[in-house]
Amino acid sequence: MAMSTANLPTTAISLSSSIKTLGRFSLFSNNSHKIKSFNRRALLVKMSSSVSDPLEICVKASITTPGKLGDCPFTQRVLLTLEEKHLPYDMKMIDLANKPEWFLKVSPEGKVPLIKLDDKWLADSDVITQSLDEKYPDPPLSTPPEKASIGSKIFSTFIGFLKSKDQSDGTEQALLSELTSFNDHIEKNGPFINGKDVSAADLALGPKLYHLDIALAHYKQWSVPASLPYMKSYMEKIFTMDSFIKTRALPEDVIAGWRPKVMG
């Protein structure tokens, strides 16, 4: 069980900067009672929304290295959302090959990620990330609907190509076609899917691209071609974000995780 302590100072910083800001106004002035009480209320609101207990989240445990985070891209998506929102969290590592009784009781499908929000366990990364954005809107991460599905076919075409045993079955071409559309979108609208700021669609796609990058290099000696430079620079940008580095799986777990699909 690991706790993200790196986030706690952020909460403290956010609170102390609120106090400083309020001090700059008239919390200590003698002649503006109305502004004084307004600012006290603002401080209380700020305190109640930014100082919170760590959120409990069930994550996939590593299958190669005890105590490490495993290779679930849906889990990483949720962790990235928590990191980008500077929310403290407490990870409960679940061995998916040997699920604990208490986990099976609270997780109807036995899947991770699973997070406790308002005293209820919530499953599914789509539902979780949307709920987090509603409950903790700072910063807002939702992607506008017209851009939300950009890149959404990359993962399935990657899996098709990874599993393929026939070089001429069109699966490589299908993946290249999705990567090319994405490359063109980023060239015109980048650096992120929705422009200059990272949003929910990037946090969903990034972990999947990480799997693509590692698994195709290992099992097919394949990498994104140089003819797709915006695709490549997008991957580099996402993979080097602090939040990504902090929440990524070990490459050996990604490789081990895909082995049954490749061999099957």
CA pair distance 19, 11, nearest whole angstrom: 13
Residues 6+ apart with CB under 8 A from 239: 206, 209, 210, 213, 245, 248
Among the residue ranges 109-117, 146-154, 209-217, 247-255, the one whose residues contact ligand GSH (CB under 6 A): 109-117
Of all helices (H) and strands (E), which one includes residue 56? strand 55-60
125 part of the interface to ligand GSH, by CB under 6 A = yes
Under the binding rule (CB under 6 A), the answer on residue 110 touching ligand GSH is: yes
Nearer to ligand GSH, 94 or 235 (CB): 94
Catalytic residue, candidates 72, 128, 216, 241: 72
Q: How far is CA 102 from the centre of its chain?
A: 25
Q: What share of the chain is helix, strand, coil (3-state, %, to 5)?
A: 55, 10, 35
C-alpha–C-alpha distance, residues 45 and 39, integer Å? 10
Provide the minimum distance between the beta carbon of 61 and ligand GSH in the complex, in angstroms, as a whole number: 11
Closest to ligand GSH by CB, 87 vs 186, is 87
> Under a CB-based contact definition with an 8 Å cutoff, are residues 44 and 94 in contact?
no
Active-site residue, 58 included:
no
- Angle, helix 73-84 to helix 200-220, in steps of 10 degrees: 140
86 CB contacts (<8 Å, ≥6 apart)? 7, 10, 11, 14
Residue with smallest beta-carbon separation from ligand GSH: 72
**Least distance in angstroms from the C-beta of 77 to ligand GSH:** 7
First-to-last CA distance in the chain? Answer: 33
Structure tokens at 109: 């499908």
Q: What residue has token string 């075409």?
A: 157
The stretch near ligand GSH (CB under 6 A) out of 82-90, 108-116, 187-195, 216-224 is: 108-116
Contact flag: residue 74 with ligand GSH (CB under 6 A): yes
Question: Measured from the CB of residue 197, what is the shortest distance to ligand GSH in angstroms?
Answer: 23
Q: Does 72 contact ligand GSH by CB under 6 A?
A: yes
Q: Does 205 bind ligand GSH (CB under 6 A)?
A: no
Pick the stretch among 23-31, 40-48, 84-92, 119-127 that binds ligand GSH (CB under 6 A): 119-127
Q: Select 51 or 127, whichever has its Cβ closest to ligand GSH.
A: 127
**Site for ligand GSH, rule CB under 6 A:** 60, 72, 74, 96, 110-113, 124-126
User: Known catalytic residues?
Assistant: 72
